[in-house]
Amino acid sequence: MMNKFLKIIILGIVLNWSPTAAFGQDINASDVPVCLQESLQKWSNPIGSWGHLGTVKLDSVVIQVSEPLVFYYFNKPLSYLPWREDLVERFTSSLKACHTGDVEGYGVQVFSNGYTLQDLIPNVYRARIAVDTSRVARKGALNRYITQSGTEAYLKGLSGNHIALWHSHGWYYESKLDRWEWQRARLYGSVEDLSAMMYVLPYLVPMLENAGCNVFMPRERCFNSHEVIIDNDYVAAQSKVHLNKKLTYTTERGFVNKDTLFPGDNPFLMGSSLLFQDANGKVATFKADVPEAGDYAVYVAYKRNQGNSESVEYKVHHSGGVTSFWLNQSMGGDTWAYLGTFRFDASQQAVVEVQGAGQISIDAVRLGGGMGNVARRPADELMPNQWSLNNGKQQAADVEKVNPEQFEWKTSNRPRYMEAARYWLQYAGMPDTLVYSLNESKNDYNDDYQSRGEWVSYLMGQPNGPTKDRGTQGLGIPIDLAFAFHTDAGVTPNDSVIGTLGIYSSQRDSGFFPQGQSKLASRDLTDIIQTQIVDDICIKHNAEWTRRGMWDRQYSEAWRPNVPTMLLELLSHQNLADMRYGLDPHFRFDVSRAIYKGMLKYLANQEGRPYVVQPLPVSHMAITENRKGYRLSWLPVVDSLEASAVPTKYKVYRRIDNGGFDNGTLVQEPYYDLPKLPKGQVVSYKVTAINEGGESFPGEVLSVGLANKRAEKVLVVNAFDRISAPAFVQSETFAGVAGWDDMGVPDRFEYGYTGPQYDFDPQSPWLDDDSPGWGASYGTDETKKIKGNTFDNVIVHGQAILKAGYSFVSVSDEVFESEIYDALAYQAVDIILGEEKTTSSANGETVKYQIYTPALMAKVKELTSRGQHLFMSGAYVGSDIHLTKDTVAKDFAADVLRFKWRTNHAARNGSVYCTDYADAFLKGQLVFNTALQDAYYAVEAPDAIEPIGINAITAMRYKENNASAATLYNGQYKTVILGFPFETIMGEAERERLMKQILEFFYNKQ
């Protein structure tokens, strides 16, 4: 007789039992064991913040009497959970507890997606069950592709590791419409093709590189739209290659500079390279003029040959000095190898020297990212035999020769960093039919997302080569993992976040990579990174952040790479609740750090070694004077999430005037006694923290300048720390990005802004990407480099102070506000407020960047009581008091600063003139910046402030409406308060004139 338990199980299978639906609808409730019903209902959502898991269904049950075991087979969604040993035990125990009758006491084994639940536990989280050695990579000896001088081997970081990663989609040619376009819709002032980039390029890639990793990307990483090519095949007045005449060489195939690439063109097969067999010292020097001063990525090209030197030195001469790299020419070749990004001045030639011993190949040097040069046209207009697909070979002699230039072709007219991977891969010399033209050049959309994974496999080469030829030589680079960064789609009706999804693939090739590693390593990677992201977000941003599933699916970017790979869908770019976080620079930094930490922990576990997380940036920086000269000091920042992220030493970087920073000086303690300062120059410093895991990002930049021995000294206080997302507005009928109120403050620079949102109706439907409904935004600004807070504003003030004949030092506001800091030596104090204002986090739980802290007000009262003078400038110098309704700060502004707030958004065009009242002290007109651009950050909401009391006057007015733009107080102490930031005044001469007038007013030199 069939027992009650088996009867229920069989009925459940027939009914396609689903614990997320009504349990056993067609079964008499009295026939269902309560414990089994409750167990399956409970485990349909085993962790409270889980979302979008899908319906978990019990597919079948097998009872094996000989074991004795009951095998439960569930559908895929059960495998989407992050299984851990305790979780598996609790789940199987809940099922076992329901065994009655003939199966009472039987054990339980649960399967989902073809794996046991134990199989789904990553190695790193195993304590009681055995490690799955098939998931461990067979890694050889430490063999790095490129090593930079001055960096240590971060053996507890990522030295020796090679990671391939990319961000989202990109600007591509849609042949059906004969136009270039984004692969996703413009929403909430951004587009996925760019917004994911603003995590990867400013944050994730530098974090990995700071840990010693070599990072490879299939999209251009340099934001500079200028490009300079130095090549032996390209003779130009502004760029030349000088060879060591004592050496002999042979000529091989190599790169040629071609302004337009057509289908089938491979620039690395169209020119020549030079092979030196017996090099011993300098081989060649590449020299070029740059079109304008700025930051340029430096790439080099060479041809990979058997016997090439594994240590070829490339010395990059830039405006900050000379930086060396050692490149292993036994890897790579026939493509662009990225060295680093450096500042070059237009008055100084960029120089790259190549030297070494043995067999060395040289080809070309490239500076900057450049503009897209791959030409496209409609696929249905392509002529048969119009070109041959090179696949790494020259065109066959019998191919019909048709000149592609006779047709009307279209390039993107965009900076190359915006373009999709498919075009960069062609420019980078990848073979078309193996990597980027899998659809015979007829569908760039498909070619783009398919190319990324094939590129990873080509980087490695045999036996891990691309799908069409696993045995191709490729580039021989030992890639450890691959990572695709995306933001998925979807909208929630209740303003909740959709959250973070992870995707991997384990099914192809019988579940193993060609070198024998189990593809469950991809699940381990995905689980570790997703866990780290969600844990960190929950702690730092939103305790209710949704963790979605881990899908094992045949997404092209997940299954094509022959190496452990994760495809991340961080959040939904279509969902306003997600984008409140997604546009916040703090969130971007924390998510990127979580991804870096996840990769670090995964690789450390793979290699059986300990890991150390690189430190956070330092704070509390100050330049102070002592008997011996000047000292730079700072404090380390504790990382509450990572106990290992503790600095053991520091690196101090130095810059003269507007040049580049040098390679840094290592120090053991959190201070550095400055070498003798040159007169008449601004010297700037930034500091990083270092440990066994790597190097942190730098803190703020402070500067110092000495005019002459008798010059009075000015104290400059950097109180502009704010970075933030834009303002948001939300109601049932009107919701989105309120850029008109507050554009937010980018972290240094923003490249992902497309233009203002114009559709604010939550009910507005998506029709297509040209009409995406709610959140739809313009594309007016998407090619702009938008300046934010560079944390380097002291230099702008300092240059004007030095030009006026005064010396200056600078400190952070954290140091200035401390009780132990004594500013008595400075008769004049310049406080930089910029766009500082009280700002709430996306969830409203954290408030930071308040201007008028009790400590600041106390310090300023102390100064003014001693007759010291105060210059303050900022866009929210008054409105921060009004918006926070701070009565103490309001009284402070009236009694000490001698002004009151009148309005924000006081002007739009930035034109200001000095009043007749101030004619004895300040004269002239000026314009500050209110537009999005790269030279000055935009002031969208300047303040109108008015004087209070005797001896206080309106010193400046906004030209468009005569509202009061600045106040001046001339009493026992003196103040000048601007309702806009001084550093946004456009024109060096205008800033110098105003600063000189203010300081002469303070020092009675009118």
State the pLDDT at residue 325: 96
pLDDT of 381 strictly over 70: no
Model pLDDT for residues 88-137, shown as the tens digit of each residue: 999 999 889 888 888 889 999 999 999 999 999 999 999 999 999 999 99
Average pLDDT estimate for 465-470: 97
pLDDT of 847 strictly over 50: yes
pLDDT of 573 strictly over 60: yes
**What percentage of the chain exceeds 90 in pLDDT?**
84
Would you place residue 42 in the very low, low, confident or very high pLDDT band (cuts 50, 70, 90)? Answer: low
Average pLDDT estimate for 484-495: 85
| CB 422, CB 447: distance < 8 Å | yes
| CB 715, CB 808: distance < 8 Å | yes
Helices and strands in the chain: count of H runs, count of E runs: 18, 50
| CB 179, CB 378: distance < 8 Å | no
Would you place residue 403 in the very low, low, confident or very high pLDDT band (cuts 50, 70, 90)? Answer: low
Nearest Cα neighbor of 364 from 229, 227, 475, 261 is 229
pLDDT of 395 strictly over 90: no
Work out the number of other CB atoms within 10 angstroms of the CB of residue 837: 24
Does residue 430 come out as left (phi exceeding 0), alpha (psi in the -120 to 50 range) or beta?
beta
| CB 500, CB 564: distance < 8 Å | no
Model pLDDT for residues 659-693, shown as the tens digit of each residue: 999 999 999 999 999 999 999 999 999 999 999 99
State the pLDDT at residue 18: 34
Model pLDDT for residues 497-532, shown as the tens digit of each residue: 999 999 999 988 999 999 999 999 999 999 999 999
State the pLDDT at residue 491: 81
Q: Where are the beta strands (DSSP E) in 491-618?
A: 500-504, 547-552, 565-572
Model pLDDT for residues 270-288, shown as the tens digit of each residue: 999 999 999 999 999 999 9
Instruction: State both tokens at 960.
Output: 């468009």
| CB 432, CB 189: distance < 8 Å | no
Nearest Cα neighbor of 113 from 467, 556, 519, 531 is 519
| CB 810, CB 823: distance < 8 Å | no
Average pLDDT estimate for 715-723: 98
pLDDT of 236 strictly over 80: no
| Weakest-pLDDT range from 224-233, 253-262, 371-380, 786-795 | 371-380
| CB 448, CB 132: distance < 8 Å | no
Supply the pTM of this predicted model. Answer: 0.94
| CB 566, CB 505: distance < 8 Å | no
Average pLDDT estimate for 150-156: 84
Model pLDDT for residues 928-971, shown as the tens digit of each residue: 999 999 999 999 999 999 999 999 999 999 999 999 999 999 99
Model pLDDT for residues 129-143, shown as the tens digit of each residue: 999 999 999 776 557
pLDDT of 38 strictly over 90: no
Mean pLDDT value across the chain: 91
Work out the number of other CB atoms within 10 angstroms of the CB of residue 962: 13
State the pLDDT at residue 391: 44
Residue 298 contacts by C-beta under 8 Å, 6 or more apart in sequence? 316, 338, 339, 340, 341, 342, 352, 365, 366, 367
Higher per-residue pLDDT: 396 or 132: 132
Distance of CA 875 to the CA centre of its chain: 27
∠ CA 227-233-234 to the nearest 5 degrees? 40
Q: Where are the beta strands (DSSP E) in 604-648?
A: 619-626, 629-635
Does residue 951 come out as left (phi exceeding 0), alpha (psi in the -120 to 50 range) or beta?
left
Q: Crossing angle for the helix pair 520-540 and 585-607, nearest 10 degrees?
A: 140
Measured distance CA(621)–CA(702) in Å, rounded? 8
- The torsion angle over the Cα atoms of residues 604, 606, 609 and 611, rounded to 10 degrees, is 10
Burial label, 121 (beta-carbon count in 10 A; 0-12, 13-18, 19+): buried
Q: Are strands 649-656 and 665-667 parallel, antiparallel or unpaired?
A: antiparallel
State the pLDDT at residue 150: 72
pLDDT of 368 strictly over 60: yes
Cα four-point dihedral sign 320, 321, 322, 323:
negative
Instruction: State both tokens at 173.
Output: 């040619």
Measured distance CA(231)–CA(117) in Å, rounded? 57
State the pLDDT at residue 709: 86
Measured distance CA(162)–CA(216) in Å, rounded? 8
Measured distance CA(933)–CA(931) in Å, rounded? 6
State the pLDDT at residue 99: 87
State the pLDDT at residue 4: 40
